[in-house]
Amino acid sequence: MASISSVSLNDTYRLIQLARETALVQGRNDQAKRLGPVVEEMRELVKPQQKSASPAAVGGMMQQTGFQKLLEISKSSQPLASISSGQPMANSAMERNRMVMAMSSANMADVDIARQMGMTRDEVRMVVSVNRFAYSQYTKGV
């Protein structure tokens, strides 16, 4: 049984349980009675799987090392800090545009991008269209 994944086992249990309930609804009591013990046995098999799976999910995404590293990096590099530190404004604008393009490439809506970046929707649309135009010119070799 160790080779059976808990997802497959749980899905099979639910399928058999659904078949039993369907038989009851359709008036096939004999079939429902035959499936009853199977459902009970499957329930006993699924219970230990559920108990052993729950402690692993307690931490969630916040406890994963990759997420913690990404969070640490994002906190350490503040894009707006470069404006106040005297660096040229172009660097922060390029960084902002890259962030907008990354969000757009991930199919994020322009409203959400505007909210996240503190911009208007028109600014977001302009950044996306200019960058897409520049990329299309680059791929053409112009």
Name the more confident of 80 and 135.
135
How far apart are alpha carbons 75 and 79 in whole angstroms?
10
Whether the predicted pLDDT of 129 surpasses 70: yes
The H or E element containing residue 21 is: helix 6-25
pLDDT digit string, tens, across residues 111-120: 888 888 888 9
pLDDT at 56: 44
Residue range 31-39: average pLDDT?
89
Stretch among 49-63, 94-108, 113-127 having the lowest mean pLDDT? 49-63
For residue 64, is pLDDT > 80? Answer: no
Q: Say what percent of the chain tops pLDDT 90.
A: 7
Looking at residue 142, its amino acid is V
Name the percent of the chain lying above pLDDT 70: 64
Let me know if 141 is exposed, middle or buried by CB neighbors in 10 A (0-12, 13-18, 19+). exposed
Helix axes 121-140, 110-117, angle to 10 degrees: 110
- The residue-averaged pLDDT of 89-97 equals 76
pLDDT beyond 70 at 1: no
**pLDDT digit string, tens, across residues 98-109:** 888 888 888 888
Q: How many CA atoms, within 13 angstroms, populate the side-chain half-sphere of residue 140?
A: 7
**Cα gap 56→43, rounded to integer Å:** 21
The dihedral sign for the CA sequence 78, 79, 84, 86: positive
- CA 48, 52, 55, 60 torsion-angle sign: negative
